Structure 1
Amino acid sequence: MANQNERKREKMFLIHSLIGVGIMVFFRFLPLNLPEVTSVGMEVLGIFIGTLYLWTFVDPLWGSLMSIAMVGLSNYMPMAGLLKEAFGAPVVAQVFFLLIMAGGLVYYKITLYIGRFFLTRKFTNGKPWLLTFVICLGCYFLGGFISPFTAIFLFWPVLYDVFEEVGYKKGDALPRVMLTLVVVAALIGFPMAPFAQNGLALLTNFTNITANLPGGPVVVNNAAYMAVAIILGLIMIVANILFAKFVIRPDVTKLKNYDVDMLNKNPLPPMEPRQKVIGISFVILILGMLLPSLFPTLPGMAFLSSNSLGLALLMVAILGAIRIKGKSVLEIPQVMATNFNWGAYFII
């Protein structure tokens, strides 16, 4: 049975890959008469649609690489110029070093402490939907600052243990609802941070698109963007939870017996110096990117703002130089080999 499923997955991977690449190659030959779209525009449009297809049905990393290769082989731009634009853009460099920092939080298990914090708030005892909201809140911020996959893979195993502890069985409605809400909350948080991953890509693209408008490019204030994103994110999370509570209405009776002390029976060990240094450094990095937007008139904020793209690089360099017990605080090769989000990097 397992071999059959594996063969089926491989077959579907091949089929979807061929369809995606086929769209990239043959879309330009469709008898479409799109106003103001040149033949080169048809090439690029086909590659764009094919890229979306590969991202959706195959793999973000592979789809992104194929997209870059196909644009380089098109009449839009020679490959050398394209690679310079794709990998030489400041936003791509910033994301590269931000993902190293985020990967360090996962590699050194700092995210476990973050997740445990949201799961052990005593005010959630006996309040299943409040507990659900707090868990979704943790997924939202982890999804925004680190990655949605980190949030999902962190909270799902813990929730499985909680469900088993309070007596839920496989197939019960509440576990399925809560696991789905975790995924939705993590994805809502994906574009929340204006200096990381999707949020940074969206704002950079918006600035580039508006560059030719009268008055020049529209630059969005990072702090204002993040404030609005958090408010909208919380509204969407609450709306999803209310939908689950009043429309789906799973049985939450057993979860009322959940006590945070169930997790405290197996407490995490105290954080090591390396974990504390990396965690504090990540907070400093976030503040360094937000403060110029919050307090632009303070001394040094203009300098910080003009060099914000290099803050993550500087932080990675410092953490790589500082040594604890003969090892770098941030072991960059190990982090990149195991916890670097290549899919997010190549999408950007």
Structure 2
Amino acid sequence: MSFALTKNEPKFYVNLAIMILIMVGFRFITPPAGMTADGLAVVGVFFGVLYGWLFIDMIWPSFMGLVVLGMTLPQPMDAVLGGAFGNNTYLLLLFFCMVASIINAAGIAEYVARRIICVPVVVGRPWVLVFMLCIAMCALATMLTMTAAVLVAFPLIKEVCRQYGYKPGDSFPMILLLAMLYVADIAYMMLPFKSLPAIVFGIYGQMSGGQEINLAAYVGVTGLLLLISIFFVIFICKYVLKADVTPILENRECMHFDEQLSPYQKTILWSFLGLIVLLLLPNILPGSWALSKFLKAMGNNGILLAYIGIYLMLNFKEGIGLKEIMHKSVAWPALFLVAAVLRITGAFEATGVTKFIADTCEPMLAGFSGNLLVFIVVCTTTLCTQLTNNNACAATFAPIAYTLAVANGNVDPQALLSCVILSCTLGIATPAAATTSAILYGDTEWVHQRTVIKYASFFWIFNILLLSFVGYPLMTVAF
């Protein structure tokens, strides 16, 4: 009788050996002038973890990276791990994921989406319907994780298409599914408490010596870019792709939706909206106000933890307990990636790696146009996120973008990193880019892969131009 102790295949051990070789091997290389041996060893840890993220897994390579980093830095292991899992950004993401679990379990996101698209004004107006679908998609993406939002939205979109007489394989549903994914990608990034923005903002805090990005300004500009993107979706569907909307024009019946929110669901919905307002108010109110001082003293993590604590204290009959909260929507892979990457980028600053890169790049960037640098960074991150996980892409390019911005001198690091967030999320050209893209391309009944890739290029190019020539200037003004 034979049995196997592990599910791992030989390919896994090859990748494991390569990852360990990268992590450990850099410390035996003579560092270049201007870089310390500890700095080069930290660079090796970063590249080793990055290799593990790309070819093995998101979770345990992060653990191994932290262990090797603890053996590299002249600090106790407990201090290294405490800096990783006690980091403000890590806690922010953890607590917001717990809030998302409460929202997801309450079932209000799907209700809001259905209510939005069932308004009478959409009858006989196809482009108003598309606009309302975009708004519904935005509601789902802001309340839920991206994967959960897509899993709720795609069946809803297909149901709408069926009611108007569209069949699997028709071009309009295919265009609509892709367009909704594009809109959701931007809407998901609008709240800075989600995983990818949290990674980038955390890296900025680590590399800037603790400075913070104005979250209200970021939300405001991203919201404006989202609105522009929605109108672009309507424009491209109507005038470029010329989608067939005849069935919608000829239909004169409004979709029926008779469901009502329970008192519990209403409580969760309004409390969630109030929570978002409280999180953003310290960036809006004058600092001298008592409310502003109170909220700043609480901090985002304190506000989120208080919300979760009050929810558990009230013990709603329809609610969920802590065990379910920690299970439903907590993005553990993203959390462990955040813990590893923020501690490693903090080590970049402490060991002089950031200064070395800046000093090396400064002569090359002398006289280099800031606008051209922004365009190159946006293009590069957009291209790379088509080939790898968006969180890993953001973790890789955020410290590089920050360093290049500082070295150039003509680029605002906060604005550039905000553009990195909105370009790293746009993984819609290939199934490998994100789980949501895999869901789209895996739906072979409604989606033709070659056609979707062709359509995706329109959104891809538009997003690059939008961020480079509209988003970045707006971000510089806002910050």
- TM (normalized to structure 1)? 0.80
The one-letter code of the counterpart of 1:316 is I
Give the conservation status (yes or no) of the 8 Å contact 1:24–1:43: no
Distance 1:17 1:248 in 2: 47
Alpha-carbon offset, residue 128 of structure 1: 2.4
Q: How does 1:294-305 map to 2 (within 5 A)?
A: 294-296=284-286, 297-305=288-296
Q: What does residue 60 of structure 2 align with?
A: 65
Q: Can you list the C-alpha shifts for 1:301-326, whole angstroms capped at 9, x where unaligned? A: 1111221221111111111011344x
* 1:237 is aligned to 2:230: yes
- Are the structure 2 counterparts of residues 71 and 336 from structure 1 closer, same or farther at C-alpha, using a change threshold of 3 Å? closer
Q: Can you list the C-alpha shifts for 1:158-186, whole angstroms capped at 9, x where unaligned? A: 11112222222222211111111122212
Q: How does 1:173-322 map to 2 (within 5 A)?
A: 173-211=171-209, 217-257=210-250, 261-264=254-257, 267-268=258-259, 270-296=260-286, 297-308=288-299, 309-322=301-314
Give the conservation status (yes or no) of the 8 Å contact 1:20–1:51: no
The one-letter code of the counterpart of 1:206 is Y
Alpha-carbon offset, residue 236 of structure 1: 3.0
Q: Which moved more, 1:253-262 or 1:329-338?
A: 253-262
Distance 2:134 2:32 in 1: 44
- Are the structure 2 counterparts of residues 88 and 247 from structure 1 closer, same or farther at C-alpha, using a change threshold of 3 Å? same
In structure 1, the residue corresponding to 2:213 is in which secondary structure? coil
Distance 2:14 2:117 in 1: 44
Distance 2:102 2:285 in 1: 29
Q: Which moved more, 1:236-245 or 1:111-120?
A: 236-245
Distance 2:68 2:189 in 1: 31
In structure 2, the residue corresponding to 1:168 is in which secondary structure? coil
Give the conservation status (yes or no) of the 8 Å contact 2:95–2:305: yes
Q: What does residue 122 of structure 2 align with?
A: 124
Give the conservation status (yes or no) of the 8 Å contact 2:23–2:68: no
Distance 2:200 2:19 in 1: 25
Count of aligned positions: 325
Alpha-carbon offset, residue 336 of structure 1: 2.4
Distance 2:34 2:129 in 1: 53
Give the conservation status (yes or no) of the 8 Å contact 1:197–1:344: yes
Give the conservation status (yes or no) of the 8 Å contact 1:316–1:330: no
Q: Can you list the C-alpha shifts for 1:264-290, whole angstroms capped at 9, x where unaligned? A: 2xx32x222222222222122111111
Q: What does residue 131 of structure 2 align with?
A: 133
- Are the structure 2 counterparts of residues 218 and 250 from structure 1 closer, same or farther at C-alpha, using a change threshold of 3 Å? same
Q: Which moved more, 1:160-169 or 1:141-150?
A: 141-150
* 1:336 is aligned to 2:326: yes
The one-letter code of the counterpart of 2:196 is N
**Structure 1: any 5+ residue segments left out of the alignment?**
1-9, 212-216
- Are the structure 2 counterparts of residues 183 and 175 from structure 1 closer, same or farther at C-alpha, using a change threshold of 3 Å? same
- Are the structure 2 counterparts of residues 222 and 339 from structure 1 closer, same or farther at C-alpha, using a change threshold of 3 Å? closer
Q: Can you list the C-alpha shifts for 1:83-118, whole angstroms capped at 9, x where unaligned? A: 212211122222212111111111121111121132
